[in-house]
A and B are shown apart, each in its own frame.
Chain A
Amino acid sequence: MKIILNNTPEQFEYKELTVNELLKVKKFTFKMLVIRINGTLVKKDMYATATIKDGDDVMVLHLVSGG
């Protein structure tokens, strides 16, 4: 599938991925995250079931401290 991940086109060898699988494939191990699929917020308890499909626009925000 081809998706947009953080404003950049990316291609994966999978037909679809759950959010947890995407985080694993991308080695995003950061604990503090905000994730949106096509503009809709995905809460943490949905990471195991929310799926990302071909053409989706995914935003993964890493929340680093400082301000």
Chain B
Amino acid sequence: MTFAQITDKLKIRAVGIAGCGGLGSNCAVALARVGIGTLVLADFDMVSDSNLNRQYYFLSQIGEPKVQALKRVIHQINPSVSVIAYEIKLDPEHIVRYFKDCDVIVEAFDQADQKEMLIETVLSAFPEKPLVVGLGMAGWGMNESIHYRRDGNLHICGDETTGISEHVPPLAPRVGIVANMQANVALELLLNI
């Protein structure tokens, strides 16, 4: 497939991104670069200086809502992406309402309980819709531990082991690897529709 054929296929597709932190911002930018038609972004947070070690934001954006900051970043790369931004803390009802028309949903939360809520909601409400989750990417090194596996419509990227802690923070390289793996899974799914 040529790049023109790829963008032609992607322009009619929509991806929902739940959380615009390290996973969500990097995944969204990767999908924007390859020509995704629509991105549905949701996050309640503002850009802060502690985010810049891994998230796709800039010093000048500190204090801005992440979804608005990310929308501007995306449009500086590819203005043809249609970005629908929800500045909100997602609950099960929002997840169903905002992501129901997306071809793929990307789970990009940081808290484990939020991941659990989103995965349970999507698997219950949309048993056929592809859901790409990022699990385990704190720290550095250990490339060999990062993997991809699939269970039906659930696609899992990460090491599935390493949670964040004070001495094992999430950092740009491993977070970026997993975010781009998620984008890669979404891309593969969308090109096979």
Contact = CB atoms under 8 A, between A and B. Distances in A.
Given A64-B160, A67-B24, A67-B137, A32 B112 contact: yes
Interface in B1-60: 19, 21-24
A34 B120 contact: yes
Contacts of A57: 151
28 contacts: A32-B112, A32-B113, A33-B116, A34-B116, A34-B120, A36-B123, A36-B151, A39-B151, A41-B123, A59-B154, A61-B119, A61-B156, A62-B160, A62-B161, A64-B112, A64-B158, A65-B111, A65-B115, A66-B22, A66-B110, A66-B162, A67-B19, A67-B22, A67-B109, A67-B115, A67-B134, A67-B170, A67-B175
A64 B162 contact: yes
Contacts of A65: 110-112, 115, 138, 163-164
A22 B115 CA distance: 23
Interface of A: 6-7, 32-34, 36, 39, 41, 43, 57, 59, 61-67
B136 interface: yes
Complex A-B, nearest 7 residue pairs according to Cβ-Cβ distance, in ascending order: A64-B163, A67-B110, A59-B151, A63-B112, A67-B23, A66-B164, A39-B152
Q: Name the prevailing secondary structure of the A interface residues.
A: loop
A56 to B, nearest CB: 12
A63 B152 contact: no
Nearest to A38: B152
Contacts of A7: 149, 151
B108 interface: yes
Contacts of B109: 67
A23 to B, nearest CB: 15
Contacts of A6: 149
B69 interface: no
B192 interface: no
